[in-house]
Structure 1
Amino acid sequence: MCRTGRLPHEPDGGEDTTAATDAAFTALLEESAEELYEQAPCGYLSTLMDGTIAKINTTLLDWLGLSAQQVVGRMRFIDLLTVGGKLYHETHFAPLLQMHGEASGIALDIKAADGKRLPVLLTSKVKTSEGGEPLFIRTTVFDARDRRAYETELLRGRQAAEEARLRAEADRLRLQEALEALQQSLLPSQLPAVPGLEAASYYLTASPDLLGGDFYDLFPLDGTRWAFFLGDVCGKGPKAAAVTSLTRYTLRAAALHDPDPVSVLTTLNTVLNERYTSGDARYCTAIFGLLEPGEHSFTVRLASGGHPSALVQRTDGTAEYLTTPGGMLIGVLPNAEFTPASTVLFHGDTLLLYTDGLTEARVGPTRDLYGEDALHAFTTAQPPDGPQALITALTGLLAGFGDGLDDDTALLALGVPVRPTTTGSET
């Protein structure tokens, strides 16, 4: 049966029981708070206003490799810092505490007993009396080793990225120089001097990082006749450059064997068609022509394979296209047909050859093609001052197209100089 009497050790009365319970609870709280302070995941220390360490928890002592007896009352907070940390403490941390009474998120290094550096983040606050007098400084110390490792790795990553960027930029510059050298090797360094004839050329690269496929040349055939050509290989880059190189040397070799323009383009067509028949089709457009000097003129015979028609600027201010309808792309079919044309250049006349980068430029608010009609009108509006003057005018025109010019453009102009004006009496 149950006994209702109290045990000998039980408190006598409700008030005594409550008091005993409160005392036990208070003692438990104090013990829990002390344990939390000592074993907290971060470091704690309290210092007098002169920096002398008055209290420090076990966590921080373990990080330092020191005992409380070695630290409390024997060391100042500044003694825990590295040389750089001491300097920062004197110049920034301590003045900040003095002015504001607190400082948070301060990154410093403390030194352990074995000399190792420990990166930490500090938050300090000055505790004051009821009257506002400063009593001591309480500091929380957070282990920043993981953060420091992360920052170091992040910095290393940024440095690696910057080094990679610099290497890429250097590689790009070297590649650009190589591309420019290769591009120049596909064009004559300068046009030869032809007796009785003026020649001028211009090449504009729309994509500096890519090899263009436009090409031109002017070279002697024998003691009197000269050959010229201008064309455009499909595509860009190294493959197009290889076709350009093959095309240029084939045209030169074919002209020495049989300089008839149709025959030369037929030979080129055979070479390209046989060379690129394994699925990687390559083709080009081109005009090839002959110059035969007369007493005061040059006879021009040319043939075109899929290329825009040549344009003749006459000394009387007119202009006309040498139409070559039906000329096929070079290299597509084994048996292609090419269209011949001819004209005579007299004093002040200029023959202009160009690639379609000029006529296919996008202009105006509606981004329409510039077109052959506009080129004809532009040429007619220019004074007949010879090839170089016409090329200079066209260079300015191309510059005005801006981003509407998205393809390389080659220009070649050949003309008979204007007959010099005679002065005085003729004999």
Structure 2
Amino acid sequence: MCRTGQSSDRPEGEDTASTDAAFSALLEDSAEELYDSAPCGYLSTLMDGTIAKINTTLLTWLGRDREEVVGRMRFTDLLTVGGKIYHDTHFAPLLSMQGSINGIALDIKKAEGGRLPVLVSSLTKTDSDGRPMLIRTTVFDASDRRSYEKELLRERKAAEEARRQAEEDRERLQEALAVLQQSLLPAALPPVPGMEAASHYHTASPDRLGGDFYDLFPLDGERWAFFLGDVCGKGPQAAAVTSLTRYTLRAAALHDPDPVAALTTLNTVLHERYASGDPRYCTAIFGILEPHGDTVTVELASGGHPPALVLRQDGRADYLPTPGGLLVGILPTARFTPARTTLAAGETLLLYTDGLTEARIGEKRELFGDEALRDFAAGLPHSGPQQVVTALTGLLNGFGDGLDDDTALLAIGVPAGRPDTASDTLT
């Protein structure tokens, strides 16, 4: 075992001799030999660029003899065409102004026709009066660096191509999702005699397929049906439930237009379809419109959905309560709460999904909430469903990233200018 403080097995005299020999070799290595066989290239040129001195290292890189270079070639003769242009337009002017220039990437030509990437630094030597005498230049082989840069460039181009491809794929996906989303909504609301209707669908993210839905369609020559709801979840599975829900409610309304009966039929269909696998359910409001002279009677039922908001001609905005309505499809049998109201001239029934009231606002990211929605609606001029939806669309856009869920709006009203008759009843 070797212990601290003990000498090694090599005799002390042998170490001293090796060190002395190394120093002797260094002393014998003249400055000229260091210059000539340095690991980088050296050359000195006159002010017109004529090469006056060049070391063996650089000659070896060039594949040339000293006799064919010194006094016969200029520095620019060693450069490629592009390098000559850069030398004359940038390198030489900067060197003349600054007296030195460092780390310039150029290519020099080899005798056999190849090229060598190099990094060039030059310094102007002056006499005692400051007049330039010659230019000293150092040349470093940059082959490894150039290869590394090319590899980085290839990787960057590959990354850019991958990013571009990903953006194109995302755009195609967004287009497909937008088309699919539109297929789950009516292309346009049909005109309802004696009434006005407006709708809006706000997509929180173009990368996600939402489950909000609405519709308005005729039952017979006098009555119209409408519904609005929100399927649990996002994506293709939610879209499938949305499609099934829309067609079921339409078919149920033609068979029995009673709102409670329509939601009961939907509940049975969803529960039977999804109870044995991944449970799927929704919230929904279904209603019937029936004009009576200058007013329109609205009968509706709710299955776990936020209550409809009625905007009265006198400036009031009140919720139409539908307590106790269960989510649609979650249980084999469910109770749905009916309600009734009458719309007079200048009054609007507003249906919405919870993306509106659950938007986050302010620094504390608090819920927008039901009260804020009622106050906002009460402050509107109540000039008609389209104006109400337009105002709410602006409100949704103002939430910014606080709105993280899709939101559907459906407003149905009686044009202004008719006698004022209105009443709410809960049955």
TM-score normalised by structure 1 residue count: 0.83
Structure 1: 5+ residue runs without aligned partners? 1-24, 422-427
**1:177 aligned onto 2:188:** no
CA deviations over 1:132-160 (Å, ceiling 9, x no partner): 66554332210011121222222233333
Larger-gyration structure (1/2): 1
Q: Name whichever of 123-132 and 34-43 sits farther off.
A: 123-132
Question: 1:270 & 1:397 partners in 2: Cα distance?
Answer: 37
Distance apart, 1:275 and its partner CA: 2.7
Rate the CA distance shift 1:210–1:45 in 2: closer, same or farther, 3 A: same
Q: Name whichever of 126-135 and 216-225 sits farther off.
A: 126-135
1:388 corresponds to which letter in structure 2?
Answer: Q
Question: 2:131 & 2:297 partners in 1: Cα distance?
Answer: 109
Question: 1:133 & 1:367 partners in 2: Cα distance?
Answer: 72
SS of match in other structure, 2:294: coil
Pairing of 1:69-218 with structure 2 (within 5 A) = 69-128=67-126, 134-218=132-216
Question: 2:239 & 2:134 partners in 1: Cα distance?
Answer: 80
Pairing of 1:252-401 with structure 2 (within 5 A) = 252-277=250-275, 279-364=277-362, 366-401=364-399
SS of match in other structure, 1:86: helix
Q: Name whichever of 376-385 and 405-414 sits farther off.
A: 376-385
CA deviations over 1:89-136 (Å, ceiling 9, x no partner): 233333444444433222221100111111111222334556666554
Distance apart, 1:392 and its partner CA: 3.3
Rate the CA distance shift 1:367–1:138 in 2: closer, same or farther, 3 A: closer
Question: 1:123 & 1:45 partners in 2: Cα distance?
Answer: 11
CA contact (8 A) 2:345 2:418 kept: no
Question: 1:296 & 1:134 partners in 2: Cα distance?
Answer: 102
2:239 corresponds to which letter in structure 1?
Answer: A
Q: How many residues align?
A: 397
SS of match in other structure, 1:357: coil
Q: Who is 1:406 aligned against?
A: 404
Q: Who is 1:425 aligned against?
A: none
Rate the CA distance shift 1:131–1:376 in 2: closer, same or farther, 3 A: closer
Rate the CA distance shift 1:95–1:344 in 2: closer, same or farther, 3 A: closer
Q: Name whichever of 89-98 and 77-86 sits farther off.
A: 89-98
SS of match in other structure, 2:111: coil
Question: 1:124 & 1:391 partners in 2: Cα distance?
Answer: 72
SS of match in other structure, 1:120: strand
CA deviations over 1:227-271 (Å, ceiling 9, x no partner): 110001122233322222221122112222222222221222222
Q: Who is 2:229 aligned against?
A: 231
CA deviations over 1:359-391 (Å, ceiling 9, x no partner): 223345554433333333443444453323333
CA contact (8 A) 2:346 2:418 kept: no
Question: 1:389 & 1:50 partners in 2: Cα distance?
Answer: 81
SS of match in other structure, 1:280: coil
SS of match in other structure, 1:356: coil
Question: 1:125 & 1:297 partners in 2: Cα distance?
Answer: 95
Q: Who is 1:247 aligned against?
A: 245
Distance apart, 1:300 and its partner CA: 2.1
2:229 corresponds to which letter in structure 1?
Answer: G
What's the Cα RMSD here? 2.8
SS of match in other structure, 2:104: strand
Distance apart, 1:176 and its partner CA: 2.5
Q: Name whichever of 251-260 and 272-281 sits farther off.
A: 272-281
Question: 1:126 & 1:365 partners in 2: Cα distance?
Answer: 63
TM-score normalised by structure 2 residue count: 0.83
Question: 1:314 & 1:133 partners in 2: Cα distance?
Answer: 94
Question: 2:407 & 2:43 partners in 1: Cα distance?
Answer: 77
SS of match in other structure, 1:325: coil
Rate the CA distance shift 1:64–1:302 in 2: closer, same or farther, 3 A: same
Structure 2: 5+ residue runs without aligned partners? 1-22, 420-427
CA deviations over 1:196-215 (Å, ceiling 9, x no partner): 22222222223333222211
1:109 corresponds to which letter in structure 2?
Answer: D
Question: 2:201 & 2:273 partners in 1: Cα distance?
Answer: 27
Q: Name whichever of 29-38 and 198-207 sits farther off.
A: 29-38
Rate the CA distance shift 1:352–1:60 in 2: closer, same or farther, 3 A: same
2:137 corresponds to which letter in structure 1?
Answer: T
Q: Who is 2:3 aligned against?
A: none
Question: 1:135 & 1:373 partners in 2: Cα distance?
Answer: 87
Rate the CA distance shift 1:382–1:101 in 2: closer, same or farther, 3 A: closer
Question: 1:238 & 1:288 partners in 2: Cα distance?
Answer: 24
Rate the CA distance shift 1:88–1:364 in 2: closer, same or farther, 3 A: closer
Rate the CA distance shift 1:315–1:80 in 2: closer, same or farther, 3 A: closer
SS of match in other structure, 2:355: helix
Q: Who is 2:59 aligned against?
A: 61
Question: 1:91 & 1:320 partners in 2: Cα distance?
Answer: 78
